[in-house]
Chains A and B, each alone.
Chain A
Amino acid sequence: MTDFDALLSTLGRHEVAFLLIGGAAAIAHGSARLTKDLDIVYDRAPANLDRLVAALAAHKPYPRGAPPGLPFLWDRPTLERGLNFTLVTALGDVDLLGEIPGGGNYQDLLPDSIELRIFEVRCRCLSLRQLIRAKRATGRPKDLEALAELEAIADESSAAPYPLTNS
């Protein structure tokens, strides 16, 4: 099981610049659906890659589904050579995305994000509107139900004065 608390705390402590997306972002907005991993879009600035490496290094990141024993090095050059990484860590599954369809990269998404204060850290999360847009852009049949729930959350949020964040 993914330890969202510990993962978000370690990313926050290391001051990694990232945006919460996917199922975890949906939970932040009020989704009742289960999610197995933490999906984030991370800033690919070199200093941030160093912070990301430092944040996860102690938690043994490794490509998810890959056979054991591969010469996988968790360092900045590895991150620079790739873009999206689906990892298993000691704290659970983490998807690190350099960009997402229908949204772009960290810098593109940042203006349409909200700040969350959660588990003693501040982090940013895609706005509900941007999350819906991103889900639509993926166009995967398996996302239809999740998309329907996000749209229902948008309906409910506009109909009642519920806070979207806890800040």
Chain B
Amino acid sequence: MEPAPPSGYDPMVEAYKKDIDRTLIRENLKLSVEDRFRNAMALARFAEELRRAGREARERERKRKP
């Protein structure tokens, strides 16, 4: 008979855990909490800039089409 899984064990979560990039976690854990927030805000600004650039490119493309 197999031993019972540990409390809180969820096979779905375990499946997702295999794909988690632990190098990112390890790098974050070396930072202060404040620097973790600063990085998150910088990443959010970058994501927002990418969205803006994407919108602009789509708009240019749309205008170029006859």
A→B interface (CB under 8 Å)? 1-5, 24, 27-28, 30-32, 34-36, 116-119, 132, 136, 144-145, 147-149, 151-153, 156-157, 160, 162-163, 165-166
Contacts and interface: CB of A to CB of B under 8 A. Distances in A.
B44 to A, nearest CB: 5
Interface in B9-62: 10, 12-14, 16-17, 19-22, 24-26, 28-30, 32-34, 36-37, 40-41, 43-45, 47-48
A34 B47 contact: yes
A147 to B, nearest CB: 5
Contact of A28 (B10, B22, B33, B44): B33
A131 B28 CA distance: 18
Given A1-B41, A1-B45, A153-B25, A147 B13 contact: yes
B23 to A, nearest CB: 10
A148 B37 contact: no
Given A34-B44, A34-B47, A147-B13, A152 B33 contact: no
A30 B40 CA distance: 10
A5 B47 CA distance: 18
Contacts of A34: 40, 43-44, 47
Contacts of B66: none
